[in-house]
Amino acid sequence: MVTTHNLGFPRIGQRRELKFALENYWRGDSALNELEQQAAELRRQHWHQQSQLDWQPVGDFSFYDHVLDTSLLVGNLPKRTDKRLAETDRYFQAARGQSSKTLQQTPIAAAEMTKWFDTNYHYLVPEFDTDTQFELNAERLLSQYREAVSQGHQAKPVLLGPVSYLWLGKSKDESNKLDLLDALLPVYEQCLIALAEAGAEWVQIDEPILATELDQHWQHALSQAYFALHKTPVKLLLTTYFGPLRENLNLACELPTAGLHIDAVKALDEVIKVIDWLPPHKILSLGVIDGRNIWKADLSKLLNWLEPIHRRLQDRLWLAPSCSLLHVPVDLEQESGLDSDITNWLAFAVQKLQELALLADALNHGRDSIQADLTANRQAITSRQDSVKVHKASVQQRLAAVTDSMSQRQNPYSQRIDAQQQRFPLPLFPTTTIGSFPQTTAIRQSRLLYRKGELDLVSYRKAMQEQIQYAIKEQETLGLDVLVHGEAERNDMVEYFGEQLEGYAFTRFGWVQSYGSRCVKPPIIFGDIDRPKAMTLDWINYAQSLTDKPVKGMLTGPVTMLNWSFVRDDQPRSQTCLQLALAIRDEVLDLEKAGVGIIQIDEAALREGLPLRQQDWQHYLDWAVNCFRITANGVKDETQIHTHMCYSEFNDIIEAIAAMDADVITIETSRSDMELLDVFNAFDYPNEIGPGVYDIHSPNIPSIAEMQKLMEMAAQRIPPERLWVNPDCGLKTRQWAEVKPALKAMVDAARQLRQDAAA
Ligand code: GLN
Ligand code: ZN
């Protein structure tokens, strides 16, 4: 018999219940035990929704992030957290800089946050130093295990493996993270023993780094770890995902574990090789259902492929989604508003588990046992392939007519800068923001009412214009140099643009966790992309009519649109990206024609599209940068192009960033003490740059001195004439009460810098 299991289920709840529970608690509107109760209720639902599988994951649920959970599990929360706080509050302090509003606590610097492999999920970076010690703290995991068992589930604890845990962390001094493995392994051993004593048979242990390039030290660390953990009384399912194993394939097969899970979507070509190589006592879990995308699986095609594998492996074959379902929305059943054809092409977490159960039924009892489901599935697959909603001749023709000159500015930056300075005489260290201002209850309310049809277009526009007026007035009072309209009309930026483009579909509840309580609702690119009319022109024109200072046009770039959407799987991503680039280029040119002289094209997600292995990077960067250039570079010299990137550790892609040829780039840096700028010591970045000095992910208000210090550090690496002063990212998640003093301090810091430069 084939065994089915799941690697992880979305935590947030099908209506984002966890988000609201967390935010209530942080605001001080609920008590910790209420939050704990709501979390237990969510876990109960989630296990119930997975009950048709043979094994249910435990330990995948998290209040904020599973990497931070692992830090808690091994007694390695950042040292600066307040040890007198309750454990959960200390945990929130590590995540956010402070826990609940009602607690007396000094704010601290939150842990650094970065992308989880090539996804749009962010984890909190573990911190290490030479003195790091570990201590097992498994009570939370054990109690969740008992909770699942008491609800009648066959529970399989899930752990982030010790080697990936170290790999994901950062050494705060010069010490080598790998030196900590000897100290970490006994804690994992104790944890596995404790789980065995609680009754666990299988434990899923994730080592996603097996899908990355590992040097021999890391490979050796994996051997050392699993030879040590092998002695514990549980069966370990070594779990990899997000890509092929390539040079790590033999290692993954040979490590002494009871089973291996591989991503059979991204590493389809390796499956047979793994089967050949896997020792005969091991089970093989194939991740056959795509955990990173929302398309229905082609069940007959999968069965054609799986049946011989099943005959060969028999009981040794397990089936699962390719990775944790954290990266897809919860339940398609809630989506009553979607086009019915499109709905019929989709599968969310719950549907994916149904597909898995169907595959197991067909393998265990023959295809006849699921005949009706197979027929319906086939019909859905062919209707998508043949749909006129998907394929548009006009878009195809435009794509075929793209020329090289479309991606070239008329002149290099060194010449453009004069034209731009003449048009906008800005002071040294010009100040600006990244685009969005706080999304107040009033703003959300107006958008919601408008969406529901309870507010007419005229009243809605008036409400948004009032917000724009407010934002412009505040920015003028604060003394910022380049203004923004504030993005009140945008909920999520990708959604905002996607809704105005053809080829995009939108869900109502298709939320996916981005970090902590932050969720995004990635739209679905199902067909060829077209822009029927201008998307942002009216708002920017209106904002500009209110002020003499320049207002930036604010767009989202093609690569980010792509990377933050669920993308069609029937053509290469580069092709879909080029369609987006042409559509947004039209918007850039419309803005320019309307007299907008500064246009920001956000490419917040460019870096996260990088393939896991460096050997695959250049290919991606080539087409991604080309798409940005096609979008941006049709403008005249005197039009200034800005771009913005979040969390851009771009040391390793600096040449590609420079090749985008934006006049100004604003980036995230404040949490890393400008370390991210070290690259400019070695690489002479030719254009202007605004290293974010205000960490917008934390409610803390930065001081003038702090920001001045950061800019001085930046000025050691980049000539001051080419520096801008700005926050890390957009301010939509903050409150005006925080934003005003913070921006005031930022503007004051810039003034101080100008004075110092003049002295
Ligand atoms: N312009 C966007 C904003 O300010 C950028 C968001 C982002 O980088 N994620 O909200
Ligand atoms: Zn950003």
392-429 pLDDT, tens digit per residue, is: 999 999 999 999 999 999 999 999 999 999 999 999 99
Best residue among 122, 433, 487, 559 to mutate for probing ligand 1's pocket (most ligand atoms within 8 Å of CB) is: 487
Q: How far is CA 301 from CA 305, 354, 567, in A?
A: 7, 16, 21
Is residue 574 within a helix (H) or strand (E), and if so which, with residue range? helix 573-593
Q: What are phi and psi of 52, to 5 degrees?
A: -75, -5
Which residue in 269, 184, 274 sits closest to 238, CA to CA?
A: 274
Residues 6+ apart with CB under 8 A from 655: 683
Radius of gyration of the chain (CA): 26
CA-nearest residue for atom 5, ligand 1, is 730
- The mean pLDDT of 313-326, rounded to a whole number, is 98
Residue 645 CA: which ligand 1 atom is closest? Answer: 8
Burial of 173 (0-12, 13-18, 19+ CB in 10 A): exposed
CB 610 within 8 A of CB 620: yes
Of 564, 607, 644, which is best to mutate to test ligand 1, by the most ligand atoms within 8 angstroms of its C-beta? 644
Q: Which residue has a Cα nearest atom 10 of ligand 1?
A: 730
Q: What is the mean pLDDT of the chain?
A: 96
Mean per-residue pLDDT for 705-725?
A: 94
What per-residue confidence (pLDDT) applies to 579? 98
Half-sphere exposure of 723 (CA within 13 A, CB side): 25
Q: Whose CA is nearest to atom 9 of ligand 1?
A: 604
pLDDT at 648: 58
- Is the model's pLDDT at 670 over the cut of 90? no
- Of ligand 1's listed atoms, the one at least distance from the Cα of 732 is 10
Predicted local confidence at residue 699, as pLDDT: 85
How far is ligand 1, taken at its centre, from the CA of residue 230, in Å? Answer: 46
Asked whether residue 647 carries a pLDDT value surpassing 70, the answer given is: no
For residue 563, the ligand closest to its alpha carbon is 1
Edge-to-edge order in the sheet of strand 664-667: 553-556, 598-602, 640-645, 664-667, 688-691
Mutation to probe ligand 1, out of 122, 729, 731, 743 (largest number of atoms < 8 A from CB): 729
Cα dihedral 646, 601, 685, 745 sign: negative
Report CA(666)–ligand 1 centroid distance (Å): 11
Q: Which atom of ligand 1 is nearest to the CA of 436?
A: 4
Percent of the chain, pLDDT > 70? Answer: 100
Q: Are 479 and 746 in contact (CB under 8 A)?
A: no
**Using CA positions, which residue lies closest to atom 6 of ligand 1?**
730
pLDDT in tens, 35-80: 999 999 999 999 999 999 999 999 999 999 999 999 999 999 999 9
**3-class state of residue 331 by DSSP:** coil
Choose the residue to mutate in 602, 665, 696, 731 for probing ligand 1, maximizing ligand atoms within 8 Å of C-beta.
602
| pLDDT value of residue 49 | 98
Q: Span 526-552, mean pLDDT?
A: 98
Residue identifier of the C-alpha nearest atom 1 of ligand 1: 435
| Cβ atoms within 10 Å of 735's Cβ, excluding its own | 12
Query: Regarding predicted confidence, which is higher, 704 or 102?
Result: 704
Residue with tokens 């699993």: 226
Q: Yes or no: say if 319 and 286 are a contact pair by the CB < 8 Å rule.
A: yes
Q: Are 290 and 266 in contact (CB under 8 A)?
A: no
CA 728 – ligand 2 centroid, Å: 6
Could you identify the atom of ligand 1 that is nearest to the CA of residue 729?
Answer: 8
Q: What is the pLDDT of residues 188-208, one digit of tens each?
A: 999 999 999 999 999 999 999
Query: In terms of residues, how long is the chain?
Result: 759
Give the tens place of pLDDT for each residue, 441-488.
Answer: 999 999 999 999 999 999 999 999 999 999 999 999 999 999 999 999
The answer, yes or no, to whether residue 104 has pLDDT greater than 80, is no
Ligand that comes closest to the CA of residue 739: 1
Q: Do the bridges between strand 3-4 and strand 317-321 make them parallel or antiparallel, or are there none, so unpaired?
A: parallel
Q: Which of 113, 493, 584 to mutate to test the pocket of ligand 1 (most atoms within 8 A of CB)?
A: 493
364: closest CA among 300, 294, 317?
317
Taking CA atoms only, the protein residue closest to ligand 1 atom 4 is: 730
Give the distance (Å) from ligand 2 centre to CA of residue 727: 9
Ligand nearest to the CA of 490: 1
Cα of 543 vs centre of ligand 2, distance in Å, is 22
Ligand nearest to the CA of 113: 2
**Quick one: CA dihedral 8, 13, 15, 19, positive or negative?**
negative
| Ligand index nearest the alpha carbon of residue 553 | 1
Ligand 2 centroid to Cα of residue 554, in Å, is: 13
Whole-angstrom Cα distance, residue 104 to residue 51?
A: 42
- Kindly give the pairing relationship between strand 512-515 and strand 202-206: unpaired
* Residue ranges around ligand 1 (CB below 6 Å): 434-436, 487, 493, 554, 602, 604, 644, 646, 729-730, 732
Q: Which residues contact 263 (CB under 8 A, 6 or more apart)?
A: 211, 240, 241, 242, 243, 244, 287, 322, 323
Of all protein residues, whose CA lies closest to atom 8 belonging to ligand 1?
604
Residue 256 has pLDDT above 70, yes or no: yes
Span from the CA of 716 to the centroid of ligand 1 (angstroms): 27
In whole angstroms, what is the distance from residue 249 CA to residue 254 CA?
A: 9
pLDDT (0 to 100) of residue 303: 98
For residue 648, which ligand has an atom nearest its CA? 2
From the CA of 588, how far away is ligand 1's center (Å)?
17
Give 54: exposed, middle or buried? Use CB within 10 Å, 0-12, 13-18, 19+. middle
Tens digit of each residue's pLDDT (9 = 90 or more) over 125-143: 999 999 999 999 999 999 9
3-class secondary structure, 517: coil
Tell how many helices (H) and how many strands (E) occur in the chain. Answer: 27, 21
Ligand 1: atom nearest CA of 604 is 8
Cα 729 to the chain's mean position, in Å? 15
Q: Which atom of ligand 1 is found nearest the CA of 646?
A: 8
CA 143 to chain centre: 29
Q: Which atom of ligand 1 is nearest to 554's Cα?
A: 1
Atom of ligand 1 nearest to the CA of 600: 1
Which has the closest alpha carbon to 327: 607, 572, 566, 53?
Answer: 566
Expressed in angstroms and rounded, the spacing between residue 10 Cα and the centre of ligand 2 is 24
Ligand 1, closest atom to CA 435? 4
Residue 607 alpha carbon to ligand 2 centre in Å: 12
**CA 711 – ligand 1 centroid, Å:** 21
Residues belonging to the active site = 697
- Whether the pLDDT of residue 672 is over 80: the answer is no
